[in-house]
A and B are shown apart, each in its own frame.
Chain A
């Protein structure tokens, strides 16, 4: 039985610029045909990682292995990759067709092969009639598609996407997310997507690697990373999170009763595997998982400060007594709030996540 080498393997690659380590030793294996998102705020090391894979930077330590071959010292033009840049980086002095054919031309493809391949690529991105246009005559969305066609024309083993949709407006971006995903599925090509947009990462990828301060904090399926974040950073970066601290009081079946701070506030049940009595814990609850109701004994009492209509949902901003950090609750329909604004907050036992950090 032959074991296929992974399309990409990063073995402890690290990189420093001017004495600052922007990427701590990183280990990463990709699966054939998957879309992996590198997600994080600016300066987290995601772009450096991509540039190391592309060959624009040489890692200080470790190696970059592409399809089983060590490519660490190989220049970018010999790595057989495709890349789509944030601002597309189409060659302004060439036509659409010449742009798409550029990679083939560099490989010395015949004229017939180039024509055939350019047609196929333009058809794939539904811009068949644009071959002779100038780049300056294209809209942002069209440029994005041509950049994709150019990157895929040489049939690269891995496609690198550097904030590919960052320059598009919101509606177009959402459409392109699905289109890009669709093309990726059809071709079965391995993709790495660098983005700072959590929604984009969650929508498009098979796996998300959340990065911060030069290291990967958590890797996993988008729903896992979203619903079971391991740290406060991951939970807050992937959307809004309400953070509570508390003390474990008692075990009730598969759940634990936790006294939420400040003491005596409420004692909800939390589904979790192993906790110890008396342990201090930090919890994260997504705004859509919090339930608004009348104040009662086993609910956390809070005061509604503001209600905002966000189109798809209502956002409630609440405050706890003696606490500055506001809480957020999202509901599908507008809930009745008493005149004094005092409400009770509850959640289902499996809605809260215990974070891996002490309270």
Chain B
């Protein structure tokens, strides 16, 4: 409808053309090319079958999902209280907290990761502190370990969780919690029956974001994992640099994209169910 004459130009679909062209050139075409690359000499589904049925590769696939799930859970446990505090209690400190949370995203991933190495290494700050207190006698190299990978991942991914949950919690009226209180619910039951169910959408968004990003991240695993964690993205890197099996690497990439697409379909379904009711 062009009820207001001035609004016509701004809403014209012509403005979408540059975006569509850009996406087509740098997103759709490479994806299609990647799909074409997985056409192995042994047949179309060769690489995919190898990925799913070979015990080693299936193990890596499972490891990838496991790391993503644990990271997601850790981000949720760390992030939810922060979001709740920000929305309900922070007041004028809110901006500062947002900055502190987003700060890791503003530093380069290399700097951030090596920073953690400095802290966690055998002669790093953490070990020195623990030795001084006398909690440990022999310093452990905590970098190059699973725990270092989780710390590094949670550090950078918690902002996505916090911001997703905060956005939804802000829309949950304090008066709803107060209503529950007057009706006889204590703090924990108010949270369980009112706050949590009403923020589930933010939790879902945050979890899906963190899960998908962890699936695709590999620098943290490479620099902090000490080859104790092998995920799909790390394997892609190896296929390119060592084995040079480009077709197999492309197939793995497509699996990651498929998982991401599935996640967003789930999120879309959740959103629709909520708006539809």
Q: Which residues of B contact A85 (CB under 8 A)?
A: 175, 178-179
> Quick one: closest A residue to B183, CB to CB?
A103
Closest to A54 in B: B182
| A85, B180: Cα distance in complex, Å | 12
Instruction: Indicate whether B197 reaches chain A with its CB closer than 8 angstroms.
Output: yes
Q: In the complex, what residues of B have CB within 8 A of residue A154's CB? A: 183-184
- Give the residues from 75 to 94 in chain A that come closer than 8 angstroms, CB to CB, to chain B: 75-79, 81-83, 85, 87, 89-93
User: Is B185's beta carbon under 8 Å from chain A?
Assistant: yes
Flag whether B176 is at the interface (Cβ < 8 A): yes
CB contact between B179 and one of A55, A78, A91, A136 (< 8 Å): that residue: A91
Tally the A-B contacts, defined by beta carbons under 8 Å.
Answer: 63
**A76 and B178 contact, Cβ closer than 8 Å, known pairs A103-B183, A134-B277:** yes
Which of the residues A77, A90, A160 comes within 8 Å of B184, measured between beta carbons? Answer: A77
Task: Give the contacting residue for A89; candidates B179, B185, B193, B197; CB below 8 A.
Answer: B179
- Asked if A237 is at the interface (CB within 8 A of a chain B CB), the reply is no
- Return the chain A residue nearest B186 by Cβ: A77
Q: How far is the CA of A89 from the CA of B180 in the complex (A)?
A: 9
Q: How large is the interface on A (under 10, 10 to 19, 20 to 34, 35 or more residues)?
A: 20 to 34
B66 CB within 8 Å of chain A:
no
Given A75-B186, A77-B186, residue A93 in contact with residue B198 (CB < 8 A): yes
User: Is residue A226 within 8 Å, beta carbon to beta carbon, of the partner chain?
Assistant: no
Question: Is B189 in contact with A83, judged by CB distance below 8 angstroms?
Answer: no
- Asked whether B198 lies within 8 Å of A83 as measured between CB atoms, the reply is no
Is residue A150 contacting chain B, with contact meaning CB distance below 8 A? yes
Tell me whether B173 is interfacial, beta carbon within 8 Å: yes
Using CB atoms, name the residue of chain A closest to B179: A89
Q: Which residue from A81, A82, A87, A151 sits with its C-beta under 8 Å from B173? A: A87
Output the least CB separation between B183 and chain A (Å).
4
A106 within 8 A of B: yes
* Chain B 166-203 per-residue mask, 1 if CB under 8 angstroms from chain A, else 0: 00000001011011111111100100011001100000
Which residues of chain A are near B194, meaning CB under 8 Å?
A: 91
27 contacts between A and B (CB under 8 A): A54-B178, A54-B182, A56-B178, A56-B181, A75-B186, A77-B183, A81-B182, A82-B182, A83-B182, A85-B175, A87-B173, A89-B175, A89-B179, A90-B179, A91-B176, A91-B179, A91-B194, A93-B197, A93-B198, A102-B180, A102-B185, A102-B193, A106-B184, A106-B189, A134-B277, A150-B183, A154-B183
Q: Which residues of A contact B (CB under 8 A)?
A: 54-56, 75-79, 81-83, 85, 87, 89-93, 102-103, 106-107, 134, 136, 150-151, 154, 160
Additional A-B contacts beyond A76-B182, A87-B175, A93-B198 (6; CB < 8 A): A77-B185, A83-B182, A92-B198, A103-B184, A154-B183, A160-B182
The 4 closest A-B pairs by CB, nearest first: A106-B184, A103-B183, A76-B181, A89-B175
